[in-house]
C-alpha cells in the first residue's frame, strides 16, 4: 500500500506545531499502526530527519500508553482496540491518514504526538485505591462473599487502561468515563465501600481541578473506548457523588 500521511509535528510544549505531509510506500496490511509509524521513522532517520515522537509500551492493548487521533477518531476506525492493536488492513492503498495527538486542555502536547496524561494519575491518587492495614491482621479478601453480577461489573470497570481516548472523543474533553470506571471498581465491592464517600468527592474534585469538562451525555466516550467501558459507570458515579454530597 502507498499511503499519504498528514502528521502533527510540534517540537516542544512551547512550539505552535503544524501538520506535515509524508508519503509512505510498501505498507503491508499485517503491520500494526505503530509498526507503520516505525517504518516511517526508519526512513526519516536514514534521511537525517527528526523521527515522529509517539507514546507506546506494551503494544498489546493493556498498558494504556498508546494514543493518537486517527482520521478524527481516538485509536482510529476499528472498535474495541487500542492504536497498537489497529492493523493497516483497515486502510486502503492510496488513503490519506490524518494523525494527531489526543486534544484536550488537560492533556498538553509534550512533543509531536505525545501528550501529558499525568492529570489521570492525579485523579487516581486522589482516591482510586483501598487503604489496607498490613499489620498482620488483614482479612483474606476471599473471606467476603460478593454477588457474581457485582463482581463482574467491578471487574469490567477495572479493565479501564487509562488511555484517555474518552477525553479525546468528548467535545467537552470530559474525564467522566475514566473517573467513573475508577470509582465503580471500588464502589461495587464491600472492601471499597469503607472509603467510598471520600473517594468520590476527592476524585471528582481533582477531575475538575485538572480542567476536564462536564459530561455531554452524547456517549462518544463509550463508542471510542477500547475497553468497552459502559456509560452505566457514569450514572453510578453521579449516584455515588450525590449520596456523598448529602452525607457530607
Ligand atoms: S474509560 Fe476507556 S477510553 Fe477512557 S481511559 Fe479508560 S479505557 Fe481509555
Ligand atoms: S502500547 Fe500498551 S495499550 Fe497500546
Atom of ligand 2 nearest to the CA of 64: 3
For ligand 2, mutation pick of 33, 35, 60 (most atoms within 8 Å of CB) = 60
Residue carrying C-alpha cell 474495541: 80
CA dihedral sign of residues 123, 124, 125, 129 = positive
- List domains and CATH numbers for the chain: 3-111 (3.10.20.30), 117-247 (1.10.1060.10)
Centre of ligand 2 to C-alpha 130, Å, is: 26
Atom of ligand 1 nearest to the CA of 120: 5
What stretch of H or E contains 19?
A: strand 18-24
Q: Alpha-carbon distance 78 to 130, whole Å?
A: 35
- Whose CA is closest to 91, among 42, 6, 31? 31
Encode pLDDT of 70-93 as tens digits. 999 999 999 999 999 999 999 999
Q: Alpha-carbon distance 116 to 29, whole Å?
A: 31
The residue whose CA has the least distance to atom 3 of ligand 2 is 61
Atom of ligand 1 nearest to the CA of 221: 3
Ligand 1 neighbour 88 (Cβ under 6 A): no
Full pLDDT tens readout for the chain, 248 residues: 999 999 999 999 999 999 999 999 999 999 999 999 999 999 999 999 999 999 999 999 999 999 999 999 999 999 999 999 999 999 999 999 999 999 999 999 999 999 999 999 999 999 999 997 777 887 787 888 999 999 999 999 999 999 999 999 999 999 999 999 999 999 999 989 999 999 999 999 999 999 999 999 999 999 999 999 999 999 999 999 999 999 87
- Whose CA is closest to 75, among 232, 231, 221? 221
Q: Is this model's pTM higher than 0.85 or not?
A: yes
Centre of ligand 2 to C-alpha 61, Å, is: 4
Atom of ligand 2 nearest to the CA of 55: 1
Encode pLDDT of 150-199 as tens digits. 999 999 999 999 999 999 999 999 999 999 999 999 999 998 999 999 99
Centre of ligand 2 to C-alpha 246, Å, is: 40
- Whose CA is closest to 40, among 55, 31, 51? 51
Amino acid at each position: 500500500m502507498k499511503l499519504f500521511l498528514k502528521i502533527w509535528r510540534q517540537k516542544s510544549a512551547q512550539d505552535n506545531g503544524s501538520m506535515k505531509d509524508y508519503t509512505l510506500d510498501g505498507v503491508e496490511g499485517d503491520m500494526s499502526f505503530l509498526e507503520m509509524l516505525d517504518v516511517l521513522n526508519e526512513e526519516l532517520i536514514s534521511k537525517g530527519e527528526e523521527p515522529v515522537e509517539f507514546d507506546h509500551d506494551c503494544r498489546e492493548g493493556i498498558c494504556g500508553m498508546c494514543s493518537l487521533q486517527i482520521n478524527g477518531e481516538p485509536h482510529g476506525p476499528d472498535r474495541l482496540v487500542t492504536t497498537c492493536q489497529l492493523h493497516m488492513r483497515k486502510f486502503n492503498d492510496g488513503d490519506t491518514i490524518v494523525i494527531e495527538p489526543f486534544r484536550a486542555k488537560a492533556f498538553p502536547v509534550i512533543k509531536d504526538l505525545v501528550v501529558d496524561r499525568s492529570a489521570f494519575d492525579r485523579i487516581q491518587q486522589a482516591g482510586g485505591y483501598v487503604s489496607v492495614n498490613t499489620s498482620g491482621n488483614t482479612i483474606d479478601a476471599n473471606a467476603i462473599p460478593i454477588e457474581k453480577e457485582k463482581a463482574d461489573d467491578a471487574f469490567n470497570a477495572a479493565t479501564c487502561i487509562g488511555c484517555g481516548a474518552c477525553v479525546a472523543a468528548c467535545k467537552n474533553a470530559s474525564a467522566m468515563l475514566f473517573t467513573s470506571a475508577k470509582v465503580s471498581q471500588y464502589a461495587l465491592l464491600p472492601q471499597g465501600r469503607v472509603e467510598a464517600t471520600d473517594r468520590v468527592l476527592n476524585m471528582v474534585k481533582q477531575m475538575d481541578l485538572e480542567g476536564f469538562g462536564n459530561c455531554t451525555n452524547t456517549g462518544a466516550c463509550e463508542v471510542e473506548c477500547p475497553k468497552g467501558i459502559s456509560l452505566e459507570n457514569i450514572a453510578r458515579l453521579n449516584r455515588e457523588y450525590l449520596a456523598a454530597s448529602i452525607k457530607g
